[in-house]
């Protein structure tokens, strides 16, 4: 009625990334107005990130160096969330930063991943992934870029097999195994007990590529073997060794307890030992014992060897007597076989002289004459350096030690009981006595 009315105009459109930071203005024109009137608004537009750039490694890296990867995400509102992965394993970034793009009001996010390269990262796939609330609400696949790393590293080296046991004269073969990048090997060295094996055409050690062949092995080849490999990155020693054990036949000698010589009347038992001076393994499984060249025993003497606990290296001689005097030797066997016979060791058994007999002549002993006493022994015993002890009455005659004793001149004091005994280091004989009567006149 008054001619005043209200007018409404609507603008309907689909919001896109083009509406970022855009101001919309509504203008009203009327004949009654000298100029239009207007009102404006600016939309709060959220968008997913539209670009991701991953940089930092162009070709390869070397083990031990620091790797810096940078992931930049552009055009996100609200700011993007950035995640790092090694395959499927989530990684922690070194630093994240976000800045506003004043042009359209979106945000650019930069994330840095820093780590030290090792051989474990070789051929690893590092992924940078970015999304924000907009993409997540629409269940859109995150932006994603990947870098496949190539890490150059010196050889990782080990020797196979771990241990080798052979008999003497057998060939030995071992390998220097490795893993490296690059895989081409520039130099190979072999070591025995940490000392480099020199390349010698006359040597039994033959080095070919990554193998070591020891021809006709001997006991001198026993030891711990290792190797080193070199590629363009560096040189590495093997982290393991191969221990070579060469079995060879035993070399033995014979010892006695108690030591020779022994006294028959004092010692009852003697233990002979067959000792290994050289041999691998050093343990004897069988021993043959010999007396004066003839076999007397092979030990162990067991019917069931699995239950046998006898020590074959010991031979007990019981109830020692003079018949056991002689040369003893042994021959030992280990896992490599029977060795050579040991040098003979003499068991010397001392024993006393046999019972003596005492005589004198002439049978008639007269004053101012002479008499000779003879102390005879059938068996002088061992050792043969027999001496004699003489007594006259109850007194020992110190200055006479021979078998014959001549008294010249005879006196009346000569008349007495005489006793003789034969002695050596093995003991003394049973004594013999005789009474000498002295006549006062010579007829």
Residues 392 and 418 in one domain: yes
In the listed set 107, 128, 152, which residue is the last one of a domain according to the structure? 152
The closest alpha carbon to 397, from 375, 420, 374, belongs to 420
Sheet with 107-116, strands from edge to edge, namely 51-55, 66-76, 107-116, 95-100
- Cα separations in angstroms, 208 against 26, 196, 217: 89, 15, 17
Residue 305: the pLDDT is 55
Span 237-260, mean pLDDT?
95
Residues 344 and 364 in one domain: no
In the listed set 93, 124, 152, which residue is the last one of a domain according to the structure? 152
Q: How confident is the model at residue 97 (pLDDT cuts 50, 70, 90)?
A: confident
Residues 332 and 401 in one domain: no
The owner of tokens 């060939």 is: 171
In the listed set 283, 318, 350, which residue is the last one of a domain according to the structure? 350
Residues 373 and 396 in one domain: yes
Q: Count how many domains the chain has.
A: 4
CATH number of the domain where residue 204 is located: 2.60.40.10
Q: How far is CA 185 from the centre of its chain?
A: 28
Q: Is residue 12 part of a domain?
A: no
Residue 309: the pLDDT is 57
> 270-304 pLDDT, tens per residue?
999 999 999 999 999 999 999 999 999 999 887 65
The closest alpha carbon to 48, from 114, 163, 112, 130, belongs to 130
d(CA 332, CA 58): 70
Residues 252 and 229 in one domain: no
Per DSSP bridges, beta strands 371-377 and 356-361 are: antiparallel
CA angle 215, 221, 226 (to 5 degrees): 95
Residues 269 and 322 in one domain: yes
95 versus 67: the higher-pLDDT residue is: 67
Secondary structure class of 311 (helix, strand, coil): coil
Kindly tell me if the per-residue pLDDT of 306 is higher than 70: no
162 versus 442: the higher-pLDDT residue is: 162
d(CA 310, CA 312): 6
Secondary structure class of 221 (helix, strand, coil): helix
On whether the CB atoms of residues 247 and 339 are closer than 8 A, the answer is no
Residues 168 and 147 in one domain: no
Query: Cα(first)–Cα(last) distance of the chain, in Å?
Result: 211
pTM score, whole prediction: 0.68
Span 92-121, mean pLDDT?
85
CA dihedral 258, 261, 266, 271 (to 10 degrees): 30
Residues 209 and 236 in one domain: yes
Kindly tell me if the per-residue pLDDT of 337 is higher than 70: yes
CA angle 109, 105, 24 (to 5 degrees): 160
Tokens (6 digits) for 132: 């924000």
Q: Is residue 23 part of a domain?
A: no
Residue 304: the pLDDT is 58
Q: Is residue 20 part of a domain?
A: no
Q: Is residue 21 part of a domain?
A: no
d(CA 112, CA 60): 18
Kindly tell me if the per-residue pLDDT of 308 is higher than 60: no
On whether the CB atoms of residues 422 and 429 are closer than 8 A, the answer is yes
Q: Is residue 30 part of a domain?
A: no
On whether the CB atoms of residues 278 and 334 are closer than 8 A, the answer is no
Containing structural domain, residue 144: 51-152
What are phi and psi for residue 307, nearest 5 degrees? Answer: -105, 5
- Cα separations in angstroms, 264 against 79, 95, 261, 379, 421: 108, 96, 10, 15, 18
Q: Is residue 44 part of a domain?
A: no
List beta partners, residue 412.
none
On whether the CB atoms of residues 169 and 181 are closer than 8 A, the answer is no
Q: Is residue 398 part of a domain?
A: yes
33 versus 150: the higher-pLDDT residue is: 150
> 191-224 pLDDT, tens per residue?
999 999 998 887 888 988 899 999 999 999 999 9
Q: Is residue 25 part of a domain?
A: no
Q: How confident is the model at residue 71 (pLDDT cuts 50, 70, 90)?
A: very high
Residue 212: the pLDDT is 96
Residues 345 and 404 in one domain: no
Residue 202: the pLDDT is 78
Span 159-163, mean pLDDT?
95
Residues 174 and 120 in one domain: no
């Amino acid at each position: 009625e008054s001619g005043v009315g209200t007018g409404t105009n609507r603008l309907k459109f689909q919001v896109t990334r083009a509406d970022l930071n855009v101001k919309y203005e509504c203008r009203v024109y009327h004949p009654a107005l000298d100029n239009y009137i207007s009102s404006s608004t600016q939309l709060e537009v959220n968008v997913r990130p539209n670009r991701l750039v991953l940089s930092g490694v162009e070709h390869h890296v070397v083990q031990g160096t620091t790797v810096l990867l940078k992931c930049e995400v552009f055009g996100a509102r609200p700011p993007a969330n950035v995640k790092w992965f090694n395959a499927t394993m989530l990684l922690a970034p070194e630093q994240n930063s976000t800045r506003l793009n004043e042009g359209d009001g979106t945000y650019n996010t930069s994330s840095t991943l820093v780590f030290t390269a090792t051989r474990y990262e070789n051929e690893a796939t590092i992924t940078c992934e970015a999304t924000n609330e907009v993409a997540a609400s629409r269940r859109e696949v995150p932006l994603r870029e990947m870098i496949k790393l190539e890490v150059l590293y010196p050889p990782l080296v080990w020797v196979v097999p771990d241990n080798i046991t052979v008999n003497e004269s057998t060939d030995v073969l071992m390998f220097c195994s490795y893993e490296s990048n690059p895989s081409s090997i520039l130099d190979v060295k072999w070591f025995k007990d940490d000392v480099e094996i020199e390349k010698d055409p006359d040597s039994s050690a033959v080095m070919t590529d990554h193998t070591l062949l020891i021809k006709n092995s001997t006991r001198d080849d026993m030891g711990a073997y290792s190797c080193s490999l070199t590629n363009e990155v560096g040189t590495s020693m093997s982290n393991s060794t191969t221990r070579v054990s060469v079995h060879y036949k035993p070399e033995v000698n014979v010892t006695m307890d108690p030591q020779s010589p022994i006294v028959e009347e004092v010692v009852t038992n003697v233990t002979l030992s067959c000792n290994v001076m050289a041999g691998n393994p050093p343990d004897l499984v069988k021993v043959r014992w010999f007396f004066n060249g003839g076999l007397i025993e092979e030990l162990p003497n067991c019917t069931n060897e699995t239950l046998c606990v006898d020590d074959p290296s010991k031979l007990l001689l019981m109830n020692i007597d003079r018949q056991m005097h002689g040369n003893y030797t042994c021959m030992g066997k280990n896992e490599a076989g029977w060795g050579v016979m040991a040098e003979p060791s003499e068991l010397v058994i001392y024993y006393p002289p046999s019972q003596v007999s005492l005589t004198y002549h002439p049978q008639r002993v007269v004053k101012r004459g002479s008499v000779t006493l003879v102390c005879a022994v059938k068996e002088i015993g061992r050792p043969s350096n027999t001496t004699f002890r003489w007594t006259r009455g109850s007194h020992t005659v110190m200055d006479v030690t021979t078998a014959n004793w001549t008294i010249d001149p005879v006196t009346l004091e000569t008349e007495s009981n005489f006793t003789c005994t034969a002695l050596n280091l093995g003991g003394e004989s049973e004594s013999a006595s005789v009474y000498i009567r002295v006549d006062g006149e010579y007829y």
